[in-house]
Amino acid sequence: MTILVTGGAGFIGTNFIFDLLSESRELVVNLDKLTYAGNRHNLTKLTDQEHRLVEGDIGDRELVDKILNDYAPTHVVNFAAESHVDRSIHGPRDFVDTNVLGTFNLLESVRAYFDKLSSEKKEKFRFLHVSTDEVYGSLGPGDPPFTENSPYAPNSPYSASKAASDHFVRAYHHTYGLNVLTTNCSNNYGPYQFPEKLIPLMILNALAFKPLPVYGDGLQIRDWLHVSDHTRAIKLVLKKGEIGQTYNIGGQAELANITVVKTICEVLDSLVPDPQGRRRSSLITYVKDRPGHDRRYAIDPGKIFDKLGFEPLRKFEEGLTETVKWYLNNGAWVQNVQSGEYRRWIDKQYGQN
């Protein structure tokens, strides 16, 4: 098989490619725009026989058409997206361009490619679109978790752009017969995550004894999913998922943000105690909440459990400790991604830290 992975130099895409190639010898063609969150150095240990990195935009029809014609992939997995809510509040246009128009143009190219395939190849072909639980909006404290039948109610420019892309993917199946699958996942964490997101931001700030900015009261609840569990689930959906269906992927680990931050502090205090005896929880700084901040997300993963036999293997405490150790052991990677652009963003969002 040849698999086209879009956005494969980002956090989840990188982990998916490593997971995929750890147990099979498919050729992965990786199309990535290599913006601030895409890092070509993530994948340098892979050989040309198993991985080809192409720098480019999913919205570039000419480039995507050429990749499809040159490599004839049997599967397309679409991770490519702008994915940070805070950035979408400051600059929503980038999210429309990539998540909506980019996905549309990618679908157009894939549809033209799919239409030319033989019946046998069409039957095997899959287009898997990776999305988020944020398209469903916010839950109250006693509300049941999101299911695949939950109505869409996006509350940020990011989630609205992902909702639009989900709808286009669905429409291309029902209108054109494209073999699509969609996954909506809960909050991911693990190695290679760009440190603007909560867990790596808190790890690196706490390690450097910088303030730990927590929005509002810190009681926003998220369902945490280790990226390795997410990538296993995606492989299962590719292999066993029913065409046209959506599968919600959750980690069954609902935690308040402040609990996550305090746990990170405890793990770091244990692994790297401060010679001066300072506790990193003293660095927690409550900052003004972001506009439209969703209060709670939670995923009901019953469908993927029952239909495909998936269940998460990493308990949150175990996965978080492993993640902290990864950032401790990969200082060169951290230093590389903490560029001037990254520092400017942190200063803009949280003030001088």
What is the overall mean pLDDT for the chain? 94
Q: Which of 32, 86, 113, 158 does the annotation list as catalytic?
A: 158
Per-residue model confidence (pLDDT) at position 345: 56
End-to-end Cα spacing for the chain: 47
Reduced to 3 states (helix: H, G, I; strand: E, B; else coil), residue 270 is: helix
Cα–Cα distances in angstroms (integers) from residue 77 to residues 93, 133, 177, 255, 338, in the given order: 24, 18, 17, 29, 28
Q: Domains of the chain: which residue ranges? A: 2-194+225-256+297-316
Name the pTM for this structure: 0.94
CB atoms within 10 A of CB 342: 15
Query: pLDDT-derived band of residue 114, with 50, 70 and 90 as boundaries?
Result: very high
The residue ranking higher by pLDDT, 91 or 175, is: 175
Dihedral of alpha carbons 295, 301, 304, 310, sign = positive
**Using 50, 70 and 90 to split pLDDT, how confident is the model at 353?**
very low
Among candidate residues 196, 319, 346, the one with its CA nearest the CA of residue 263: 319
Per the DSSP assignment, residues forming a β-bridge with 255 are: 222
Choose, from 32, 82, 133, 196, the residue flagged as catalytic.
133
Task: List the helix and strand counts (H, then E) for the chain.
Answer: 14, 12
User: Catalytic pick from 57, 134, 229, 294?
Assistant: 134
Q: Say yes or no to pLDDT of 343 above 60.
A: no
Bigger pLDDT: 84 or 258?
Answer: 258
Query: Hey, what CATH topology would domain 2-194+225-256+297-316 get?
Result: Rossmann fold (3.40.50)
pLDDT score, position 201:
96
Beta bridge pairs of residue 254: 223
How confident is the model at residue 37, as a pLDDT? 80
Question: Is 247 assigned a catalytic role?
Answer: no
To the query of whether residue 19 is one of the catalytic residues in this protein, the response is no
> pLDDT band for position 90 (50/70/90)?
confident
Q: Tell me, yes or no, if 62 is annotated catalytic.
A: no
Residue 346: pLDDT over 90: no
Instruction: Give Cβ neighbours of residue 120 (< 8 Å, ≥ 6 apart).
Output: none
For 33-52, the pLDDT digits (tens) are 998 888 898 999 999 999 99
Neighbours of 331 (CB within 10 A): 10
